[in-house]
Amino acid sequence: MIDGVVLTPLRRIADDRGAVMHMLRVDSPVFQQFGEIYFSSVHPGKIKAWHYHHRMSLNYAVPVGRINFVLFDPRPHSLTHGQVQEIALGDDDYALVSVPPGLWTGFQCVGGETALVANCATLAHDPSEGERKDHDDPSIPYVWRERP
Amino acid sequence: MIDGVVLTPLRRIADDRGAVMHMLRVDSPVFQQFGEIYFSSVHPGKIKAWHYHHRMSLNYAVPVGRINFVLFDPRPHSLTHGQVQEIALGDDDYALVSVPPGLWTGFQCVGGETALVANCATLAHDPSEGERKDHDDPSIPYVWRERP
């Protein structure tokens, strides 16, 4: 696991009507502060990458569909400098991924249905706080799967 | 509108990959405090009702599918005492519904796909803080649609 990233399994309590899916509580060990909760839907095969945050920590969960979530650690003094990590997220692998600032992140919908990524971040969105690169930027050593 | 309930239209920014859907920011006029964010999925036609909270305020948004959200005001001194209200929520009516304590609430999935209701509540879930009634309890003057 990339240094500072925390994976917390989450409860999904199903019955014949649907399911209740936990995400984040104020008394969770990974909760820092509330900045914003928003969603990103991703159609099958589509990629949203790459994103970087200077100060914001992310908390991702995927309550609908399946996502391949990818992280790259560019931090010069990190124990995991230069490493890439893939994490499978979705209703079958229902978990919270908490990501500190200073990493490049991206995700691809790998299921047959449109996926929903929820992000409960420590800061409200501020374009001046983040950076972006194209999903195939050569500075990040990761090749996304072929799109369907 | 039932007294104290606030409906805030939300932005949904779509492109060919999917959409970004806002829900709640710390600097929103309706934000009070963060207790918990969780999801409830509801299969077509299914009802989740009735729920009551003594102290918790709710913030509901529906990023997937379509919901008929229903509120009943039992507060003796409310301007809208005894009234029932229906609110259509979904990706076509994308909005945040903020609900104060003291109301009965419930919802039904009215679309053809499983809907996802997100609730960013002011308190973490505490069974001693809430009450429940069956969806057809005669004390609440509302008849749900026939299930498919």
Is the confidence at residue A148, as pLDDT, over 60?
A: no
Residue-level pLDDT at B146: 82
Whether residue A27 is contained in a domain is answered as yes
A91 vs A80 pLDDT, higher one: A80
Q: How many structural domains is chain A composed of?
A: 1
Whether residue A145 is contained in a domain is answered as no
Instruction: Give me the percent of chain A exceeding a pLDDT of 70.
Output: 99
Q: In chain A, positions 58-117, which contact chain B (CB-CB < 8 Å)?
A: 63-64, 109, 114, 116
Q: Between B21, B24, B116, which is nearest A64 by CB?
A: B116
| Residue B39 in contact with partner chain A when CB distance is under 8 A | yes
To which residue do tokens 């903020």 refer?
B98
- B97 DSSP assignment: E
Strands A115-121 and A58-64: antiparallel
Which CATH number covers residue B88? 2.60.120.10
Whether residue A103 is contained in a domain is answered as yes
Residue-level pLDDT at B92: 81
CA atoms within 13 A on the CB side of A3: 12
- B128 DSSP assignment: G
pLDDT in tens, B23-44: 999 999 999 999 999 999 999 9
Whether residue B54 is contained in a domain is answered as yes
Whether residue B26 is contained in a domain is answered as yes
- Closest listed residue to residue A76, CA positions, set A3, A1, A133: A3
Is the confidence at residue B90, as pLDDT, over 70?
A: yes
d(CA B99, CA B75): 13
Whether residue B85 is contained in a domain is answered as yes
Rounded to the nearest angstrom, the gap between the alpha carbon of residue B113 and the centroid of all alpha carbons in its chain is 18
For residue B107, the enclosing domain spans 6-128
Which segment of A135-139, B5-9, B71-75, B142-146 scores lowest on mean pLDDT?
B142-146
Residues B40, A47: C-beta atoms closer than 8 Å: no
Whether residue B134 is contained in a domain is answered as no
| Residue A40 in contact with partner chain B when CB distance is under 8 A | yes
Phi, psi dihedrals of residue B128, rounded to the nearest 5°: -75, -10
Across chain B, mean pLDDT equals 96
Is the confidence at residue B65, as pLDDT, over 60?
A: yes
Name the residue in chain B with its Cα closest to that of A22. B38
Is the confidence at residue A15, as pLDDT, over 70?
A: yes
Residues B48, A118: C-beta atoms closer than 8 Å: no
- Closest listed residue to residue A107, CA positions, set A61, A139, A57, A38: A61
d(CA A127, CA B125): 33
How are strands ordered across the β-sheet holding B47-53?
B84-90, B66-72, B104-109, B47-53, B130-132
Q: Distance, in angstroms, between A45 CA and closest chain B CA? A: 9
Q: What is the DSSP string of chain A?
A: --TT-EEEE--EEEETTEEEEEEEETTSTT-----EEEEEEE-TT-EEEEEEESS--EEEEEEESEEEEEEE---TT-TTTT-EEEEEEETTB-EEEEE-TT-EEEEEE-SSS-EEEEEEESS---GGGEEE--TT-TTS---PPPP-
Provide the pLDDT confidence category of residue A93 given band limits of 50, 70 and 90.
Answer: confident
Across residues B57-69, what is the average pLDDT? 98
pLDDT in tens, A16-73: 999 999 999 999 999 999 999 999 999 999 999 999 999 999 999 999 999 999 999 9
Residue B137 and residue B40 in contact, taking contact as beta carbons nearer than 8 Å: no
Whether residue A95 is contained in a domain is answered as yes
d(CA A10, CA B122): 20
Residues B43, A120: C-beta atoms closer than 8 Å: no
